[in-house]
Structure 1
Amino acid sequence: MKDFSKIAGELAILQDKGRWEAGIERVEYLIRRHASELERGEKSFLCGRLGYFLHFVGRIEKAAAAYQEAVALAPYLAHQRKLYSDYLMVCHYLPQIGDEELAIRHFTYNQFFRSEEELHHERELHRRHKKIRVGYLSSNFKTHIMSCFMMQLLAIADHSRFEVYCYDLGNDADAAAKQMRSFGNIWRSIVLSEAKDRARAIAADEIDILFDLSGHTDGGHGLATLGYKAAPVQLTGIGYMSTSGLKAVDYYLSDIFLDPEGKGDAYFSEKLLRLPHSHFCYTPFEAVFKSTIDWQPHERLVFGCFNNSAKISDDMLRLWYTLLMRVPDSKLVLKAWKPKNLRKRALALGYRPDQIEVRPMTLDYIHEYMDMDIALDTFPYTGGGTTCEALYMGTPVITLAGTRHGTRFGLSLLENVGLGELAAHTPEEYIEKAAALASDSELLTALHRNLRPMMQRSPVMDGRRYVREVEAMYEKIWKEWLYGENR
C-alpha cells in the first residue's frame, strides 16, 4: 500500500500516547477501507497492532483473535514467531482458558523452528572450561520489574565457580542498567535483528548454560534465540508464566509451591527444576527500599489492587463486588490505564459510585499502598512484582491459587513469607479469607507492622541462599549434559 510507512508511524504515535481506542478505530478503518490495496505483510502488521490496542482496552478475546490473524498472514518466519509470542501473552488474560488448552497453544510455538537449524556443541570443547559459563539473556537489564528478580543472580554470583555473561537485547543505559553492569560480569550487547545471528554470537562465547529471562514477553526475542540452541543447556522461567513450548529449551525454573512434585509436568515441554523455596528472589527498587510505612486503619475498610488493569476481568470485578457486599461499608481502590473505562465497567456490574475508586496508572505509586488495608490479587493472571511490593509495604495480600504454574505466584510468595493461610483455592474461600481478615482489626494492624521484616527474613529476599540454590542446580544440570546423562 502506498505510504504504508507513514501509516505505521501514525500508529506508533497513538501507541506511545496511550490512545488505544483511536488506534483501534484507525486500524479497523484501514482494513475495511483499503483491504484490496494491502499486501499480506501489511495486513499482518495491522492485525498485530489491532491486537495490541484491543489488549490495552481490555477486549482480550478480540485481541487474541487479531493476533491469530496476524500470525496467519505474516509472510516471514521471524514475524510469525514474534506475533505468536504476542498471542500467547494475551492468552494468559483469558479468564476461562483451561490449563491443558493453554499448554497446547504454547507447544504449537515449536512449529516455527526447525531442529536441523539448531547449533551443535562439542562436549570436549566445553569440558575444557575451568568454570561453568552461565549466560543470562534479557531485554530488561534496566529499570523494569524483572531487574528486581535478576539483580541477586548478577550481584553475588560465585565467580570462583562461574563465569557470568549478560546478553542484553535492549542496550539501555539507565541507573539500573549501570548498576547491573558494575557487578564484574561479562557484558554483551546483542541487538541483532535475526535470532540465528544472536544465537551464533552467544555460541561464539562457548556458553555452557543459557537462561532466558523473558519468555514470550516483549515479542519472545530471547526465546527465538534459544530456538537455535545457542548453548548446550538452556532454561527459562522467572520472567514468564508458562512453558516456552520449545523443544530446544531443556529446563524450566520453578519451585515446590508453583508446581508441587508430580503436578504440572504435562503442561511443560521442558523438565521442571523445582527449587525448595522461591523460584525468584526480590530486590526492591531503590525508591521502594527507602520508603516508609505509615499506614493507619481507615474508617471504611479499603480493599485494593494495583496489578496491571488488563488483568482485571469482569469475572474479577464480580468477585470483588461479592466481597464488598460481604464486608459492609467497605470500598475498592484500583489503578488502571484508562480509569474512566474501568470505573464504567464496574458501575455496569452493580457497584455503587462510592464503592469504587479508580486511579490512573503512575510510576510513583508505592506510597499509595498506605491508602488500602488489604490487597486483592487478580486471577487467573496473578501479580508478581506488585504482590512483592504490596507485602514489602506491609499490605497483606489475598490470592486465589489455581492449578497451573502461572496462577500460583501469589501462593508461592505467601508460603515463603509465612502467610500461606492467605491463599485461597476457590472463589468462595477467597471471599471468606478476605472478609475474615477485614473483620480482625488486631491481626490486620499486626500484619501492617510486621510484614516488611517478615518478608526481609524470608526466602523471597534471602539473596545469598537463593543464588547458592540456583548455582547448585546449575552444577547438577551441567554435569548431566557434560557426561551425557540429560534427557
Structure 2
Amino acid sequence: MEGIFATRDRGSIKAMAFGYGRDDGSAIRQRVIDNVDKFFDLSAASFEQSAEVIRDEHIHIIMDAQGHTRGGRMQIVAARPAPIVVNYLVYPGTSGAPFIDYVIVDKYVVPPAELATSFTEKLVVLPNCYQVNHYDQILASSERIAKRSDLWKIETREGQYDGFVFVNFNKIDKLKAPVFSTWMSILRRVPRSSLLLLDPGRNEMGDGVAESVTSREIKKNLWKEAQAQGISRGRIRFVSRIPKGEHLQRHRFGRLFLDTFIYGAHSTATDALYAGLPVITLAGDSFASRVGISLLQNLDMEELITFSVKEYEDLAVYLAQTPFILSRLQRRLRSDITEFGQPLFRTEQHTQHLEQSQRLMYDIYTLTNRPFHIVV
C-alpha cells in the first residue's frame, strides 16, 4: 500500500488512511502517514466508533486491506461507512460478505469463467498484476543497497551453501504434505541439493519473539518426515527472519524458488523475483493458488508456470541439472528490462490503473447506485 500512497495523483484524489494496528514506531508507518492527506489512529476505538470516524469524513470509497486475515476488523466496513467498499490486496479471495461491493483482481488470479460464480463481490480486473510493489523505498532506506543489482553483487553476512539450493521463504502454515513430499522427491532426484526454509520461530528483527516450543516441534517433525522419505536432516535448513533489505540479499544463495501449492507465495515470491531468483509455480484453481501465475506472466516468464505436480517436479529437476538454462533465466530476471519494462515492478503504472478503477467505481455508483464488474 505504501507505494500507492507515494505515487498517487495528489491533484484529483484525496487519500486518507485509517489504521487500527498498534503504533510500532516503524519507518513504514511514518511514510504512510507522510504520504496521505489525513491519518486516523483507530487502535483504541471500537468498531462503532471507527465506522463513525470514517463516516464523518464523507469518503467515497473505502479499501479494506485486511479482510479475513489476522487482526482484521471487517465489522468496521460491515457498517458501510462509505458508499463503496472494496476488498483489496491482502486477502486473496472472496470475502463472502454482502456488504463488500468489489474485489481487486487480475485476469490470471481469477480466470474469466469464475467472474460470476466464485465471488460475492463484483470483480475489478486490472490490466496487469493485482499486486502492488514498491521496492524503491526499500533500496532508498538501506545503507548498503543503492540499486537492485547490489542485491546479488554486494557481500552479505550469511555464508554460502554447498550444492544446489532450493528455496521457499513462505510462512510455515502454507506448507502442506503434498508439496513437502514433492520437494523431497526433487531432493532425491538432485544429488547434493538442499532446501532452505524460513525458521518458524527464530528471528533477528529485535521484536522480542523467541523460538517457541511449537516452532521447535515443527522443525523436528519436518526433519523426521524428510528422513522418512529418504532425505537426511542436514538437507533441510532453516534461516531466521531478518530486515527486508538483508532478506532480499540472501536470495543470492538460492538457485531456484519452489512455490507452495494450495496457498502460494505472494509477496514472498515477488521478493524472490525482484532479488533475481527464478520461481517455479503450480497453477491452482483458486485466487490464493494462482498469484504465482500473475507474477510470472507480468514478467514475461510463463515458462516457469506448471500445470501438474509431475510437471512442477520435472521442471525443478531439469533446471537444477541444466545450469546454462537456469543461468539464462536468471540473467533475464536480473535485467533492466525486467525491472523497468515489465509491469510487475512499475508502481506508478499500477497506481494509475487502480485510480482509474476507482473513478469507474464512483461513476457507476452515481449513475446506478449498484456495483458492476469492471475491466480496466
TM-score, normalising length from structure 1?
A: 0.65
Partner of 1:51: none
> 2:318 aligned with 1:318, yes or no?
no
| Residue number among 327, 336, 340 corresponding to 2:190 in the alignment | 327
SS of 2:70's equivalent in the other structure is helix
Q: Deviations over 1:68-91 (max 9, x none)?
A: xxxxxxxxxxxxxxxxxxxxxxxx
Aligned to 1:218: 70
Stretch deviating more after TM superposition (343-352 or 430-439): 343-352
Q: Distance in 2 between matches of 1:209 and 1:301?
A: 49
Aligned residue in 1 for 2:205: none
Q: Distance in 1 between matches of 2:48 and 2:226?
A: 47
2:168 aligned with 1:305: yes
1:473 matched residue in structure 2: 357
Q: Which amino acid aligns with 2:311?
A: E
Residues 1:205 and 2:57 aligned together = yes
Q: In structure 2, give the amino acid aligned to 1:180.
A: V
Q: Within 2, Cα distance between the matches of 1:354 and 1:201?
A: 54
CA distance in 2, matches of 1:177, 1:298: 35
Alpha carbons of structure 1 residues 442 and 187: separation in structure 2 relative to 1, 3 Å:
same
- Where in structure 2 are the equivalents of 1:94-113 lying within 5 Å? none
Per-residue CA distance 1:39-82 (angstroms, 9 max, x = gap): xxxxxxxxxxxxxxxxxxxxxxxxxxxxxxxxxxxxxxxxxxxx
One of 382, 398, 404 as aligned partner of 2:286: 404
Question: Is this contact kept in 1: 2:42–2:50, CA < 8 A?
Answer: yes
Within the alignment, does 1:237 sit opposite 2:119 as a pair? no
Aligned residue runs from structure 1 range 31-430, under 5 A: 150-172=1-23, 173-221=25-73, 223-263=74-114, 265-284=116-135, 285-286=138-139, 287=142, 290=146, 291-294=150-153, 300-337=163-200, 338=215, 339-363=219-243, 364-430=246-312
Residues 252 and 220 of structure 1: CA distance in aligned 2, closer, same or farther (over 3 Å) = same
Q: Is the 8 A contact 1:167 1:187 kept in 2?
A: yes
**Whole-angstrom CA distance in 2 between matches of 1:271 and 1:167:** 24
- Cα distance in 2 for partners of 1:478, 1:419 equals 35
Scaled by the length of structure 2, the TM-score of the pair is: 0.83
The answer on whether the counterparts of 2:55 and 2:81 sit within 8 Å (CA) in structure 1 is yes
CA distance in 2, matches of 1:236, 1:345: 38
What is the CA–CA distance in structure 1 between the aligned matches of 2:367 and 2:297, rounded to whole Å? 36
Gaps of 5+ in 2: 201-214, 372-376
- Structure number, greater radius of gyration: 1
Number of the residue aligned with 2:367: 483
Per-residue deviation, 1:289: 5.9
Q: Choose from 342, 350, 365 the match for 1:458.
A: 342
Post-superposition CA distance 1:190-225 (Å, at most 9, x none): 22442222111101100100001111112321x221
Instruction: Give the counterpart of 1:435 among 306, 317, 321.
Output: 317
For the 8 Å contact 1:377–1:397, the answer to whether it is kept is: yes
The residue identity in structure 2 corresponding to 1:333 is L
Q: Which moved more, 1:457-466 or 1:229-238?
A: 457-466
**Cα pair distance change 1:365/1:478, threshold 3 Å:** same
- Paired-residue identity, %: 27
CA contact (8 A) 2:265 2:291 kept: yes
Aligned counterparts of 2:301 and 2:154: Cα–Cα separation in 1? 20
Q: Is the Cα contact below 8 Å between 1:380 and 1:402 reproduced in 2?
A: yes
Distance 1:456 1:347 in 2: 44
Q: What amino acid is aligned across from residue 239 of structure 1 in structure 2?
A: V
CA contact (8 A) 1:295 1:370 kept: no
Contact preservation (8 Å) 1:165, 1:187: yes
The one-letter code sitting in structure 2 at the alignment partner of 1:476 is L
Deviations 1:256-311 (A, max 9, x none): 11112222542211111111111022112344964520499976222111111221
CA 1:289–1:278: 2 relative to 1, 3 Å: farther
For residue 175 of structure 1, report the CA deviation from its aligned partner: 0.9
Shift of 1:384: 1.2
Q: Contact 2:188/2:231 (CA < 8 Å) preserved in 1? A: no
CA contact (8 A) 1:154 1:185 kept: no
**C-alpha distance in 1 between matches for 2:247 and 2:359:** 40
**Superposition CA RMSD, Å:** 2.3
Q: Pick the structure with more helix per residue.
A: 1
1:205 counterpart letter in structure 2: E
